[in-house]
Amino acid sequence: MRKLLLTTAALLALGVTAQAADLGVAPLYKAPPASPVTGGFYWGLGTSVSVANSNVSGTAILPSNLTADGGTIDGEIGWVGNIQNTWVRLAVDGSYENVTGGVAQAGASASWQDRWAVTERADVNMEIIQSAVALTGINLGTFPTIANPAGAVPSGLKVGTPIQYLGAILREESVSGTIASATGQTWLIAPGVETGWLWPLLNAAGKQNGTALDVFAQVDFPTRGMQVSGLFANGGGAPVVQTGGINIGTEYRAGIHLLLP
């Protein structure tokens, strides 16, 4: 009986030890949490600055060049996935803008303001662009890339290895303006391109915490401007100039967004 009890106790001890060892073994790989870097839906907030060199037409009274600049407050929703082993992002930004510009001379003035905008974005990892160019067999020399702008990351943040991306944008903007006493308002459409860096943010242990920092630059090309009529009048009240317009030029923009799952 004593031998049986000792044998049973020994077997139980071995079983408990083996079970404890199994519980203590960590998995060899643990996938990072879903984030704007690894995949899934996300949202974000940020800001940007922009400048556009435009021109005034239809009157010789005012200078033709008009430069507008200012800043925006942005909200973003998007999705990140992996298609054919390629990082892909689709996103939509909504922006409140304070982008303004104007000129004045000889008692007359012209100005335009940009208040609201929506931007659709489609991006891929820069590496797929480089691979596609290599497949053509065309020697383009060193493929142009943007230097990693590490200085754009606020101090105190821990970040992981960034993803550099390249993509296309389509931007719709609500613009309004004045030329002398006439006013006008319209929506313009501006296709363009963008590139940037997406940094995963890390926790105190150096692991991805599910958030990311997006630093980007965009260039877009508005397809139309704003036109008004009945600008000026002579002493008899007849208009001197029938129509005039403000043609929005190429827009340049740089921004930073904080993205969250």
CB within 8 A of 178, min separation 6: which ones? 109, 110, 111, 112, 184, 228
- Please compute the mean of the pLDDT values over residues 200-211 and round it to a whole number: 85
| Per-residue pLDDT, 38 | 76
In which band, very low, low, confident or very high, does the pLDDT at 6 lie, cut at 50, 70 and 90?
A: very low
In which band, very low, low, confident or very high, does the pLDDT at 61 lie, cut at 50, 70 and 90?
A: low
User: Which domains are seen in the chain, by residue range?
Assistant: 35-260 (2.40.160)
| Per-residue pLDDT, 22 | 47
CA distance 84 to 81: 10
Residue with structure tokens 């317009």?
Answer: 245
pTM of the model: 0.71
CA distance 34 to 209: 9
C-alpha pair distances (Å), 150 with each of 94, 160, 162, 182? 26, 11, 10, 47
pLDDT in tens, 20-60: 444 444 444 444 455 677 788 999 999 999 998 776 665 55
pLDDT in tens, 115-164: 899 999 999 987 766 565 556 666 555 544 545 555 555 656 677 888 88
| Per-residue pLDDT, 31 | 47
DSSP for 214-246, written as a single string:
EEEEEEE--S--EEEE---B-TTS-BS-SEEEE
Percent of all residues in the chain with a pLDDT value above 90, rounded to a whole number: 31
